[in-house]
Structure 1
Amino acid sequence: MNEIKAVLFDMDGVIFDTERIYLDIWTKVFDKYGYKMTKEVYVSVMGRGRKNVIKTFLDVYGQDLPIIRMYDEKDDSLVQVIDKGEVPMKFGAKEILNFLKENGYKIALATSAKRDRLNKQLKMGDIKKVFDAIVCGDDVINAKPDPEIFLKAAKKLSVNPENCIVIEDSPAGIKAAYNAKMIGLHVEDLKKSDEEIMKYCHKSFKNLLEIKEYLKR
């Protein structure tokens, strides 16, 4: 831990409280089309990118699922929520970002979200200037748990992977950090820590303020 030079953040469920909003929107869209979205199914696709989400939903609900039309409706609803400023930042987000900045850590955002949405959310939170590098879903070919997004972020920061911490809420993100040979710190959101997460992360925390205190020590 003494060799840490950079901290890489996921966005949804880590910096912004988006995952609950995602689940609520998906639940309503699935209800409209006569299907039932469950928390377990949604958690299984968190952070995995659109192609993997579509594949999983088709595998679970059948190939007749009108997923492209449903995805368009989900996207439209999410844009409305973001445009209304109804996506809050997670508890402790600004505090940990300020702490890292003040103590000389490099900071990157590595999110599966598309650039248009991430720019809207960063503007809403007024935190874009905090990040030394940003890598989004538009910049990578392989979604988490592939390590590509974290390795690209580290390269942008000019920091070796072993000198990076990754803060993630999803199982896919934690596995991606592990696959990148980085130190993964899990922060609970919709997904609480379990045996699988603990297998791949360095430590799990209830919120970002706990992580801030851990880094201070």
Structure 2
Amino acid sequence: MAYITHCIFDMDGLLLDTERVYTEVTQQILDKYANGVKFTWDVKSQLMGRSGDESARMVVDTYKLPMTIQEYLDMTAIIQEALFPKAKLMPGVEKLIKHLKQHDIPIAVATSSTRAKFELKTSLNKEIFDLFDVIICGDDPEIKNAKPSPDLFLAAQKHLGNPPAENCLVFEDAVNGIQAGLNAKMNVVWIPDENIKALTGEDTHGAHCVLNSMEDFSPEAFSLPPFNE
């Protein structure tokens, strides 16, 4: 297995349990404007990891909603503002982040979220996100393309001091994110939602390691200090 010196984390659905908020918000709008048609995982899985604008366009087009992309974004922003600050950490996150920090392993967040949405989502867990050395957001000036383009991970790599890509480990929950990590020539740990796993079967999408939860991650498998040290 690869010798890892730096770790880069996606956020939504990986560090924070925000994907259920996106589902809830989208369903509220479908209930109102699309006769309550169900927001299914085959559609949701295609949105994960994409920019807000791209996701909005796909929802409006897929469900033929009677609104513009901007109207959809404005509507979702109002509902998200109430729900995002309640987002909890995913299982195993606090333990791993504190462990890596304690052992001076440089860590970054690379999220498609805008900086404002990042602040909103992390407000309940600010002390954990303060441990990261670098935070890269989707609306940062250097990000030209959303995942599956590697821009977010390449920016994180640059701000971490340009370690070799083969020494970087990306943690992702979305297939778009795996592709972005691979496009950045990095190693990828995939921790998919069980609904996505059910959709994709045994396909690893090129990830070097697939886990059910961050609680199952073994640092020593990637030459990182083991938990008992």
Fold conserved (TM > 0.5)? yes
Report if aligned partners of 2:2, 2:187 keep a CA contact under 8 Å in 1. Answer: no
Question: Does residue 1:188 correspond to 2:192, yes or no?
Answer: yes
Report if aligned partners of 1:107, 1:132 keep a CA contact under 8 Å in 2. Answer: yes
Mind listing any 5+ residue stretches in structure 2 that lack a counterpart?
none
Question: Does residue 1:152 correspond to 2:158, yes or no?
Answer: no
Percent identical among aligned pairs is 32
TM-score, normalising length from structure 2?
0.86
Question: Which has the larger helix fraction?
Answer: 1
What's the counterpart of residue 217 of structure 2?
211
Any idea what SS the aligned residue of 1:72 has? helix
- Once residues 25 and 65 of structure 2 are traced to their aligned partners in structure 1, the CA distance between those partners, rounded to angstroms, is 21
CA offsets 1:33-73 (integer angstroms, 9 cap, x no match): 12522222112111110232133234423485544222212
Any idea what SS the aligned residue of 2:170 has? strand
CA-CA distance at 1:192 after TM superposition: 2.0
What's the counterpart of residue 56 of structure 1?
58
What's the counterpart of residue 97 of structure 2?
97
Q: Which amino acid aligns with 1:171?
A: V
- Indicate how the Cα distance of structure 1 residues 120 and 50 shifts in structure 2: closer, same or farther if over 3 A, else same: closer
What's the counterpart of residue 139 of structure 2?
138
- Once residues 91 and 7 of structure 1 are traced to their aligned partners in structure 2, the CA distance between those partners, rounded to angstroms, is 18
Deviates more, 1:156-165 or 1:57-66: 57-66
CA-CA distance at 1:156 after TM superposition: 0.4
Q: Which amino acid aligns with 1:191?
A: I
- Indicate how the Cα distance of structure 1 residues 188 and 53 shifts in structure 2: closer, same or farther if over 3 A, else same: same
Report if aligned partners of 2:189, 2:208 keep a CA contact under 8 Å in 1. Answer: yes
Report if aligned partners of 2:173, 2:192 keep a CA contact under 8 Å in 1. Answer: yes
CA offsets 1:118-145 (integer angstroms, 9 cap, x no match): 1233332022321111100111120000
Any idea what SS the aligned residue of 1:185 has? strand
CA-CA distance at 1:195 after TM superposition: 5.5
Report if aligned partners of 2:114, 2:137 keep a CA contact under 8 Å in 1. Answer: yes
Report if aligned partners of 1:174, 1:197 keep a CA contact under 8 Å in 2. Answer: no
RMSD (CA atoms): 2.1
CA-CA distance at 1:2 after TM superposition: 5.0
- Once residues 41 and 111 of structure 2 are traced to their aligned partners in structure 1, the CA distance between those partners, rounded to angstroms, is 21
Any idea what SS the aligned residue of 2:113 has? coil
TM-score, normalising length from structure 1?
0.90
- Indicate how the Cα distance of structure 1 residues 209 and 201 shifts in structure 2: closer, same or farther if over 3 A, else same: same
- Once residues 203 and 134 of structure 2 are traced to their aligned partners in structure 1, the CA distance between those partners, rounded to angstroms, is 26
Any idea what SS the aligned residue of 1:199 has? coil
- Once residues 74 and 165 of structure 1 are traced to their aligned partners in structure 2, the CA distance between those partners, rounded to angstroms, is 32
Any idea what SS the aligned residue of 2:152 has? helix
Aligned counterpart in structure 1 of residue 175 of structure 2, from 171, 185, 205? 171
Mind listing any 5+ residue stretches in structure 1 that lack a counterpart?
none
- Once residues 58 and 170 of structure 2 are traced to their aligned partners in structure 1, the CA distance between those partners, rounded to angstroms, is 25
Q: Which amino acid aligns with 1:38?
A: T
Q: Which amino acid aligns with 1:154?
A: Q
Any idea what SS the aligned residue of 1:167 has? strand
